Chain A
Amino acid sequence: MFPIQTLLLSVGAIAALSTVLAVIMVIADATIANYGEVKVTINDEKEYVVNGGRPLLSTLMGEEVFIPSACGGRGSCGLCKVKITEGVGDYLPTELPWISDEEKEDNIRLSCQVKVKNDIKIYIPEELFNVKQFTTKVASIRELTYDIKEVTLQLIEPGEINIKAGQFVQFQVPEYELTDEEVYRAYSVASNPVEKGKVELEIRLVPNGICTTYVHEYLKEGDEVVINGPYGEFFLRDTQRDVICIAGGSGMAPIKSILLDMAEKGINRKVRYFFGARTTKDLFLVDEMKALEEKLPNFQFIPALSEPSEEENWKGETGLITDVVDRHMDSGDNVEAYLCGSPGMIDACVKVLTGNGVPEDLIYYDKFA
């Protein structure tokens, strides 16, 4: 046989075989693997009609419901757990390493492994339902101190966000001089949750910080910013205990949001807010806090300076924030505490609070390193 004929014959044979197999696969995909339209019911209230046959995680993502996942659906991180009560079979061997016995009783499944084949019912934490990506526009940038800026973002699409006071969002930093890929940084929301159309962030300049440098040096009013959220377990618990808030620097943000929320809802619990700064130059929003004291009769704002100079003529509390808190505490029995600041400050404050009898599990904090 001539080489050219051999060549054509080989190519032809492979092509024919591949075609036959491909046709079989296409037919199989359209018949055997076609599960038609199925209904996903989330938390008994929202229903989505989707094409069946794909893993739950990616199906939900297609409907813009984001379940946290670190591995992107390969079943190697175990984060994408959801509760499924109807419409799925037994546990798969690929799920079992991640599921404890209690979770099994509670029908918790790994959403990247479970495939949607029939109508199914799932339950996810309400706040996950809320996690979305928002396109926003910078409405204003205000200098709170020499190194802290308040950035107000006007939401464009979607136009509203449901936040629990104290939660945080992630800020997407686009590529620029300091980073050659998009990065995300978490910032607590400082605004009042009833103002659903905007998000206020307080961002302190960290030398060479990717996001803080971007915000302080590059971001201008009118720029587009993408955020996602809200996230976090840092919000006011519904109890009758006295509240102690401790913050430093831009840790003001979530506490301010919580206080505004309390004023809005008329929650009149006893609140003492200790705010630590070095000098008067580091103090900000003092007038707003004084105004809140008018609205909330049981609220007391206690700013403390650690290094006030003579000429500042500071009349308030002085000393390290931990010492100031320690001086004001009598008994911690009926207290719950909310802290926001540097990890060092939080560790020191937790020590002082527990030393004064505040139960450790009632001390809530966001540690932003």
Chain B
Amino acid sequence: MEATVLPVAIFFAAIFTNNILLANYLGMCSFLSVSRELKTSLGLGAAVIFVMATTTLLNWLVYTYLLIPLELEYLRFIVFIVVIAAFVQLVEMIIERVSEGLYAALGIFLPLITVNCAILGVSLFMVIRSYDLLSSFLFGLGSGIGWTLAILAMAGIRQKLNITRVPRGLEGAGITLIITGMMALAFMGFSGMININ
């Protein structure tokens, strides 16, 4: 399939119509466990945006200039994972060194998202949909923003949940998953606008 969609369209589609979390249900683990507080969610969201945008870029370069010429496309899973892990660890070291404040706000979340499936998912989608460099970057950026949007919405709702009576069997992950489902339904309202699948 050729990429005929405008890069800008891809960016917005990644946020709304093809939200990585709500449409693809990727990146659920940290979404469920860290969405208790608005502030922490924002920190994690910022880390995800940064890592998604940069690793997608990096993986695009590795894929295009290393795997394709060597005809080793099938190695992309293992290669992408290794690149993401190494990159995230490097970034964590740098942040910890240069800025105490940034480390407290963002750095401590980095190890948490090294193995986030949404990050790997974005890189793999980029390959399947044969995006060019710019589209890939915008797709990564948009997906990150979309993921953050979803977790922020969830954190807001969960803060209300704290003062609400939830049936005992549904407390915690149960009610969160149900709400996530409803949010996904709501986001389906966007689906007519752009389609990048």
Give chain A residues whose Cβ lies under 8 Å from the Cβ of B108: 92-94
In contact, B79 and A24 (Cβ under 8 angstroms) = no
By the criterion CB–CB under 8 Å, are B43 and A17 in contact? no
A1 within 8 A of B: yes
Q: How far is the CB of B55 from chain A (nearest CB, A)?
A: 13
A contact residues, total (Cβ < 8 Å): 21
Say yes or no: is A285 at the interface (Cβ < 8 Å to chain B). no
Of the candidates B75, B86, B94, the one whose C-beta lies within 8 Å of that of A14 is: B75
Is B101's CB under 8 angstroms from A13's CB? no
The smallest C-beta distance from A313 to any residue of chain B, in angstroms, reads 65
**Which of the residues B72, B82, B86, B96 comes within 8 Å of A9, measured between beta carbons?**
B72
- Please give me the residue from chain B that is nearest to A95 by CB atom: B104
How far, in whole Å, are A90 and B99 apart by their CA atoms in the complex?
11
CB within 8 Å of B: which A250-304 residues: none
Tell yes or no: B93 within 8 A of A by CB: yes
Judge whether A90 and B86 touch: CB under 8 Å: no
Q: Which of A13, A25, A91, A93 contacts B89 (CB 8 A)?
A: A25
Size of the B side of the interface (Cβ < 8 Å), in residues, is 27
B72:A33 contact, CB within 8 angstroms: no
Question: In the complex, which residues 7-23 of chain A have their Cβ closer than 8 Å to any Cβ of chain B?
Answer: 9-10, 13-14, 17-18, 21
Known: A10-B72, A17-B79. A89 touches B93 (CB 8 A): no
Check: B171 CB closer than 8 A to any chain A CB.
no
Q: Does A362 contact B (CB under 8 A)?
A: no
**Is B90 an interface residue, CB under 8 A from the partner?**
yes
Map CB proximity to A onto B6-47 as digits: 1 under 8 Å, 0 otherwise. Answer: 000000000000000000000000000000000110010000
**Nearest-neighbor residue (CB-CB) of A115 within chain B:** B96
- The interface residues of chain B lying within 8 Å CB-to-CB of A28 are 90, 93-94
Q: Taking the complex as formed, is B128 at the interface, i.e. its CB lies under 8 A from any CB of chain A?
A: no
CB distance from B162 to the nearest CB of A (A): 15
Q: For A33, give the chain B residue with the smallest CB separation.
A: B93
Binary flags per residue of B59-79, CB closer than 8 Å to A gives 1, else 0: 000100011001110010011
Which residues of chain A have C-beta atoms less than 8 A from B75's C-beta? 10, 13-14
Q: B101 contacts which chain A residues (CB < 8 A)?
A: 89-90
Given the complex, which residues of A lie within 8 Å of B94, measured CB to CB? 28, 32
Interface check A29, CB cutoff 8 A: yes
Bound-state Cα–Cα, A139 to B37, Å? 58
Contact of A91 among B90, B96, B104 (CB under 8 A): B104
Residue from A18, A21, A29 in contact with B93 in the complex, judged by beta carbons closer than 8 Å? A29
B83 interface residue (CB < 8 Å to A):
yes
Q: Could you tell me if A24 and B86 are in contact, using CB atoms closer than 8 angstroms?
A: yes
Among B40, B66, B67, B97, residue most surrounded by chain A Cβ atoms (within 10 Å):
B97
Closest approach, in angstroms, between the C-beta of B37 and any C-beta of chain A? 9
A17–B89 CB distance below 8 A: no
Beta-carbon contacts of A26-46 to B below 8 Å, as 1s and 0s? 001100110000000000000
Select from chain A the residue with minimum beta-carbon distance to B90.
Answer: A28
Q: For the complex, what is the distance from the CA of A177 to the CA of B90, rounded to whole Å?
A: 50
Cα A119 to Cα B71 with chains together (Å): 52
Q: Are B82 and A93 touching (Cβ within 8 A)?
A: no
With beta carbons under 8 angstroms apart, the residue of A10, A25, A94 that contacts B86 is A25
Partner of A33 from the list B40, B78, B82, B97 (CB cut-off 8 Å) is B97
**Is A89 touching B89 in the complex (CB atoms < 8 A)?**
no
A17 near B66: Cβ-Cβ < 8 Å: yes
Could you say which residues of chain B place their CB within 8 Å of the CB of A24?
86, 90
CA distance A92 to B95 in the complex (A): 14
With both beta carbons as reference points, the residue of chain A lying nearest to B109 in the complex is identified as A93
Q: In the complex the two chains form, is A90's CB within 8 Å of B104's CB?
A: yes
**Chain B residues, Cβ within 8 Å of A93:** 39-40, 43, 104-105, 108
CB of A3 to closest CB in B, whole Å: 13
In the complex, what residues of A have CB within 8 A of residue B71's CB? 1
Candidate in A9, A13, A28, A93 with the most chain B CB atoms within 10 angstroms? A93
Give the residue name and chain of the A residue nearest to B85 (CB): A21
Q: How far is the CB of B93 from chain A (nearest CB, A)?
A: 5
With a CB–CB cut-off of 8 A, which chain B residues contact A10?
72, 75
Using known A-B contacts A25-B86, A32-B94, A33-B93, determine if residue A14 contacts B79 with beta carbons closer than 8 Å: yes
Known contacts A89-B104, A94-B108; A13 and B70 CB within 8 A of each other: yes
The distance from the CB of B72 to the nearest CB of chain A, in whole angstroms, is 5
Task: State in angstroms the CA–CA spacing of A13 and B96 once bound together.
Answer: 31
B94's nearest neighbour on chain A, judged by CB, is: A32
| Further contacts, 6 of them, CB under 8 A, given A18-B82, A28-B93, A28-B94 | A14-B75, A17-B79, A21-B83, A92-B108, A93-B108, A115-B96
Q: Which 9 A/B pairs are nearest by Cβ-Cβ distance? A: A89-B100, A21-B86, A32-B93, A33-B93, A92-B104, A32-B97, A28-B93, A13-B72, A28-B90
Q: List 14 A-B contacts (CB under 8 A).
A: A9-B70, A9-B72, A13-B67, A14-B78, A14-B79, A14-B82, A17-B83, A21-B82, A21-B83, A28-B94, A32-B97, A33-B97, A90-B101, A92-B104
